[in-house]
């Protein structure tokens, strides 16, 4: 079974190779973070100006990864760009920390409490 999966993986990697150029090579006017409308050039300037070397510092300065997707769409590309700009290994720049939900649920809904039970009008 594993040999069969290995052959399939080899076929998929041959059909869809990982790009040899990473996000570090993208043009400055390319939208890096759709949610916060941050372009690659904005990120590069922030990295240089503030000597950024870690993903969460890049996030704090530029807001990359703070939008609705919480970095799920832009996090990998931003990490590649940061690694390329700082000439560091991708593992050395870290990853985005998880954030609280963007739209919290009401406590009563979370606890499955019927709010009408506690309403003095009922």
Tell me the C-alpha distance between 24 and 118, whole Å.
Answer: 56
pTM of the model: 0.67
Strands 38-39, 31-33: parallel, antiparallel or unpaired by DSSP? antiparallel
To the nearest 10°, report the CA torsion of 75, 80, 82, 88. Answer: 130
Does residue 55 contact residue 82 with C-beta atoms inside 8 Å? yes
Tokens 């809904």, located at residue: 109
Confidence of residue 17 (pLDDT cuts 50, 70, 90): confident
pLDDT in tens, 27-53: 999 999 999 999 999 999 999 999 999
pLDDT in tens, 79-114: 999 999 999 988 899 998 876 655 656 666 656 655
Tell me the C-alpha distance between 24 and 47, whole Å.
Answer: 12
Does residue 39 contact residue 49 with C-beta atoms inside 8 Å? no
């Amino acid at each position: 079974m594993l040999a069969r999966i290995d052959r399939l993986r080899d076929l998929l990697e041959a059909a869809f190779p990982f790009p040899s150029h990473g996000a570090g090579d993208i043009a400055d006017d390319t939208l890096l973070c759709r949610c916060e409308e941050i372009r690659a050039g904005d990120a590069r300037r922030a990295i240089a100006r503030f000597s950024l070397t870690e993903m969460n510092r890049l996030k704090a300065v530029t807001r990359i990864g703070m939008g609705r997707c919480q970095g799920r769409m832009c996090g990998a590309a931003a990490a590649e760009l940061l690694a390329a700009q700082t000439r560091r290994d991708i593992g050395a720049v870290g990853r985005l920390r998880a954030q609280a939900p963007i739209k919290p649920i009401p406590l009563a809904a979370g606890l499955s409490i019927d709010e009408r039970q506690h309403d003095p009008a009922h």
